[in-house]
């Protein structure tokens, strides 16, 4: 009797709350937004081990690589789909093209398509098959991109000419330029346009069928590197950008200031990337200066003043690079920043960015990419808001 009276009294004192034993917590079981889930520690391996210690990392460079990974499906699917007949692809086929479209093997492509309803759409064709294509909004962005490409044709031609002028034999396989064209802003159909410039390029087909693009005429006005131009404007800045310490005997007894002066004498001038530096002894200091200059100029020709290591290694033979490229770049932290993992790292040209990590000279084509990222991010934020709103509604209902 006493326990029953106590239970009744408790219910009167707490009229808004049911008996704790009958209180349901099922409404609390909900899907946590991915953004707020704790990250599991990754196993230590070259695939996950960073090339730069955490204490030396520059956040805005690291964030650019993170953004690339996050929108990998978006950028690769846009590129692949835009090359297809009528810019459409059967969904069954899309599910098998995980490398080409940039999604993990074993995952459903529909999951990634659904993330970007403003950009991609799927529909059932008269053949009763579901096809993947672009939305009208995406079609407008592609038209804008094509217009920019046409307006920038002369600039892209100049970039290709400078690449050929830097190369060892003034010739590069056409396939290499095509595979890495995006980092230079070179259009998909550039191979068809080479015939418009007979004074600049010559296409040679070798016995094995390989197509080689050769330089026809040397232009002295183009044989000036970005670093050389900067040297004329700000000599002190360029002097501080590189360090090639000289090896000398301890018995010289040099003071600190004398050591600095000696090192400075061997820092500048750099060997021009448009010279015959490839003829130098590959282990000499001058040869290292030449290769550093080659990579600096290579990055200055890219749209974003950065490149993944495999983009650079692709031209290893043409630019006389060695297996010590990674160690060589690490010795120049004032000019280059290495980001990513030991298995897949990127190199940034630091003087191409301001202190906030923004490109100093932004190519018009990059504006299109920024629009894509912006709309993709807006959709993700809307989805997240929808998840939170749904969670709140469920709380109210329970």
pLDDT tens by residue, 91-121: 999 999 999 999 999 899 999 999 999 899 9
Q: Is the peptide bond between 269 and the residue preceding it cis, with omega within 30 degrees of 0? A: yes
For residues 307 and 328, what is the distance between their CA atoms, to the nearest angstrom?
Answer: 16
Does the pLDDT value for residue 13 go beyond 50? no
Q: What is the pLDDT of residue 42?
A: 66
- As beta bridge partners, residue 339 has 346
Q: What is the pLDDT of residue 298?
A: 97
Q: What is the pLDDT of residue 12?
A: 46
Which has more confidence, 208 or 18? Answer: 208
In the chain, % of residues over pLDDT 90:
56
Q: What is the pLDDT of residue 263?
A: 56
Structure tokens at 201: 């390029």
Q: How far is CA 162 from the centre of its chain?
A: 22
Does the pLDDT value for residue 166 go beyond 70? yes
Q: What is the pLDDT of residue 384?
A: 58
pLDDT tens profile 34-84 = 656 666 766 677 778 888 988 999 999 999 999 999 999 999 999 999 999
Q: Mind giving me the DSSP string for 109-144?
A: HHHHHTT-TTTEEEEE-TTS-EEEEE-HHHHHHHHH
**CATH code linked to domain 51-134:** 3.30.420
Q: What is the pLDDT of residue 396?
A: 53
Q: Whole-number mean pLDDT of the chain? A: 84
Q: Where are the domains of the chain?
A: 51-134, 139-366
Does the pLDDT value for residue 297 go beyond 90? yes
Structure tokens at 251: 């018995």
Long-range contacts for 121-124 (Cβ within 8 Å, ≥24 apart)?
A: 122/91
Environment class of 59 (CB within 10 Å of its CB; exposed 0-12, middle 13-18, buried 19+): exposed
Does the pLDDT value for residue 18 go beyond 60? no
For residues 6 and 1, what is the distance between their CA atoms, to the nearest angstrom?
Answer: 9
Does the pLDDT value for residue 307 go beyond 80? yes
Q: What is the pLDDT of residue 285?
A: 85
Q: What is the pLDDT of residue 236?
A: 78
Q: What is the pLDDT of residue 395?
A: 45
pLDDT (mean) for 336-358: 92
Distance between start and end Cα atoms, the chain: 33
Q: What is the pLDDT of residue 259?
A: 59
pLDDT (mean) for 122-131: 88
Q: What is the pLDDT of residue 293?
A: 93
Backbone torsions φ then ψ of 201, nearest 5 degrees = -125, 155
pLDDT band at 126 (very low <50, low <70, confident <90, very high): confident
Which range is most confident: 249-253, 346-350, 381-385?
A: 346-350
Structure tokens at 122: 């799927």
Q: What is the pLDDT of residue 69?
A: 92
Task: Name the residue with tokens 């000398």.
Answer: 248
Q: What is the pLDDT of residue 32?
A: 64
pLDDT (mean) for 276-290: 89
Instruction: Give pTM, 2 decimals.
Output: 0.81
Q: What is the pLDDT of residue 3?
A: 53
pLDDT (mean) for 259-286: 76
Q: What is the pLDDT of residue 242?
A: 82
pLDDT tens profile 230-253 = 888 887 788 778 877 665 555 556
In the chain, % of residues over pLDDT 70:
78
- 153 vs 170, 188, 300, CA distance in Å? 21, 12, 18
Does the pLDDT value for residue 204 go beyond 50? yes
CA angle 222, 316, 76 (to 5 degrees): 90
Does the pLDDT value for residue 398 go beyond 90? no
Q: What is the pLDDT of residue 235?
A: 78
């Amino acid at each position: 009797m006493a326990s029953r009276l106590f239970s009744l009294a408790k219910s009167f004192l707490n009229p808004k709350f049911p008996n704790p034993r009958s209180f349901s917590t099922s409404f609390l079981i909900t899907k946590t937004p991915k953004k707020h889930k704790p990250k599991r520690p990754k196993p230590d391996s070259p695939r996950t081990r960073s090339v730069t210690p955490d204490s030396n990392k520059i956040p805005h460079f690291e964030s650019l690589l993170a953004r690339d990974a996050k929108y990998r499906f978006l950028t690769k699917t846009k590129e692949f789909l835009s090359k297809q007949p009528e810019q459409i692809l059967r969904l069954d086929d899309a599910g098998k093209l995980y490398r080409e479209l940039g999604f993990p093997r074993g995952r459903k492509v529909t999951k990634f398509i659904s993330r970007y309803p403003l950009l991609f759409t799927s529909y059932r064709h008269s053949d009763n098959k579901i096809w993947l294509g672009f939305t009208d909004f995406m079609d407008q962005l592609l038209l804008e991109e094509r217009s920019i490409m046409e307006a920038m044709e002369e600039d892209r031609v100049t970039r290709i000419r400078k690449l050929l002028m830097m190369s060892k034999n003034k010739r590069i396989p056409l396939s290499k330029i095509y595979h890495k064209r995006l980092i230079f802003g070179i259009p998909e159909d550039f191979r068809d346009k080479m015939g418009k410039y007979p004074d600049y390029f010559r296409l040679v087909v070798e016995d094995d069928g390989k197509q080689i693009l050769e330089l026809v005429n040397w232009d002295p006005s183009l044989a000036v590197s970005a670093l050389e131009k900067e040297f004329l404007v700000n000599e002190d800045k360029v002097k501080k950008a590189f360090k090639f310490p000289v090896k000398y005997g301890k018995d010289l007894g040099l003071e600190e200031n004398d050591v600095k002066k000696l090192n400075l004498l061997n820092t500048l001038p750099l060997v021009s990337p448009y010279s015959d530096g490839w003829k130098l002894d590959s282990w000499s200091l001058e040869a290292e200066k030449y290769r550093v200059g080659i990579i600096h100029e290579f990055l200055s020709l890219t749209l974003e003043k950065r490149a993944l290591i495999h983009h650079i290694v692709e031209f290893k033979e043409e630019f006389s690079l060695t297996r010590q490229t990674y160690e060589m770049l690490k010795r120049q932290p004032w000019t280059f920043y290495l980001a990513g993992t030991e298995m897949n790292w990127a190199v940034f040209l630091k003087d191409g960015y301001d202190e906030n990590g923004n490109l100093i000279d932004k190519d018009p084509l990059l504006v299109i990419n920024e629009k894509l990222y912006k709309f993709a991010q807006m959709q993700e934020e809307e989805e997240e808001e929808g998840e939170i709103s749904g969670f709140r509604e469920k709380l109210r209902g329970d």
